[in-house]
Structure 1
Amino acid sequence: MLTTEQKLLCALAHLGVFVGIPIIAPIIALLVSNDNFVKMQAKEALGFQIMLIAAGIISGILVIVLIGIPLLLVIGIVTVVFPIIAIVKVIDGVDYSYPISGSIIRKM
């Protein structure tokens, strides 16, 4: 069973996208906690947020040739939906892994 502090730190790591500190929030959770569950969730959130930034840059470049506009829409939806799912799962005590970046991050 997760403690309130663990749930709060995990939620903070995943909420970084919404509060304007997307990469800093998971790093703070990584540095503050000694718990393996919290560290794994913070790594997942950090990897996901770095992936979103890279995808946004690539889509931004592709907007010049009008291919990137649909990609930006998909990235926007993914940026909102997946962190909300992660927060709900972590608060329920489930070890959540993002669909695309999760398997890569867990191997590191």
Structure 2
Amino acid sequence: MDEFDTLTPPENAPLKPSQQARQWAMLCHLAAFAGLVVPFGNLLGPLIVWQLKKDIDPFVDAQGKEALNFQISVAIAVMVCFMLMLLVIGFPLLALVSIGALVLSIIGGLKANEGVAYRYPFTWRLVK
């Protein structure tokens, strides 16, 4: 079996998700910005949106999982950065992780709104 066989959509799958599905998928990615207001909001935002809307479309389900997995990975990276602050290297790493999370979350939201299934780099896929 070729590795690219898994990338082709099924014959009966729609070519592009509906506008509503794309908007909810975008919100799954952008809900991480709740972390700017609420502690652990970067985890709770995508989790709540995904849990409420995952049944409306497979695209929303997949993008919600992807956004949640990315935010879990970011949270783990931030914890590691805090531990590394004892060695001073944690400060620039925390800035790098924060800026990367901000940029990649925006890219994920924009791609989801276009109907493109976005996969975050450097992400542990814990939620399947």
| TM-score (structure 2 length as normaliser) | 0.74
Aligned-pair RMSD on alpha carbons?
1.8
Partner secondary structure for residue 83 of structure 2? helix
* Aligned-pair CA distance for 1:4: 2.6
In structure 2, C-alpha distance between the alignment counterparts of 1:36 and 1:93, rounded to whole Å: 12
In structure 1, C-alpha distance between the alignment counterparts of 2:28 and 2:68, rounded to whole Å: 8
| Greater helix content | 1
Deviates more, 1:74-83 or 1:10-19: 10-19
* Counterparts of residues 10-29 of structure 1 (less than 5 Å): 10-20=25-35, 21-29=41-49
Unaligned runs of 5+ in 1: none
**Do 2:65 and 2:127's aligned partners in 1 also have CA atoms closer than 8 Å?**
no
Q: Deviations over 1:38-59 (max 9, x none)?
A: 1110011101001111110110
Partner of 2:88: 66
Q: Deviations over 1:3-25 (max 9, x none)?
A: 23212211221112213321122
Unaligned runs of 5+ in 2: 1-15, 36-40
Partner secondary structure for residue 61 of structure 2? helix
Q: Which structure has the larger Rg?
A: 2
Deviates more, 1:25-34 or 1:52-61: 25-34
Question: 2:34 is matched by which residue type in structure 1?
Answer: V
| TM-score (structure 1 length as normaliser) | 0.86
Change (3 A) 1:9 1:107: closer
1:2 to 11, 17, 21: 17
In structure 1, C-alpha distance between the alignment counterparts of 2:28 and 2:127, rounded to whole Å: 19
* Counterparts of residues 14-93 of structure 1 (less than 5 Å): 14-20=29-35, 21-33=41-53, 34=55, 35-93=57-115
For these two proteins, the number of residue pairs brought into alignment is: 106
In structure 1, C-alpha distance between the alignment counterparts of 2:106 and 2:33, rounded to whole Å: 10
Change (3 A) 1:107 1:43: closer
In structure 1, C-alpha distance between the alignment counterparts of 2:22 and 2:126, rounded to whole Å: 19
Aligned structure 1 segments of 4 or more residues deviating by more than 4 angstroms: none
